Amino acid sequence: MIEIKPIASSSAGNSYLISDGKTSLLLEAGVRVSRLRKSVQLSGISGCLVSHGHQDHSKAALDLIKAAVDCYMSAGTAGEIGATGHRVHLIKAGEQVKCHSPPRRRLANAVITGTGKRRR
């Protein structure tokens, strides 16, 4: 069963923890990393998907990268927020993405669609 835990959902910031009980992903990083740390153990997440560069979706992305969290985003989003380095994974609409899970956990597969919907 998939669990979706809203961390924040407003024009001030968006972030959701999505988990199947084995693998956890952050969808959006639109709040300060200190707020994320109150809700999520960063070392336990497989990665973060940032949909676009507006601050209410990407505010903590650079801090997550510094905290060794893999972040998945389009090249346009990476350029807009200045995200670089080996923790930044550039994705394209319709591309299958494999997020490497934290140690002793399995891989999560997801296909990102151009409509903003997630397929398994």
31 lies in a domain?
yes
**Exposure string for 83-118, b = 16+ CB within 10 A, e = fewer:** beeebbbebeeeeeeebebeeeeeebebebeeeeee
> What is the domain extent for residue 10?
3-92
For 3-13, how does the pLDDT look when each residue is reduced to its tens digit (9 = 90+)? 999 999 999 99
The mean per-residue pLDDT over the stretch 57-81 comes to 97
- Which residue type, as a one-letter code, is found at position 16? Y
Q: In total, how many domains does the chain have? A: 1
44 lies in a domain?
yes
111 lies in a domain?
no
For 75-120, how does the pLDDT look when each residue is reduced to its tens digit (9 = 90+)? 999 999 999 999 999 999 898 888 766 654 344 555 554 444 444 4
The CATH number of residue 42's host domain is 3.60.15.10
66 lies in a domain?
yes
Q: Are strands 47-49 and 71-73 parallel, antiparallel or unpaired?
A: parallel
Strand partners, 48: 26, 71
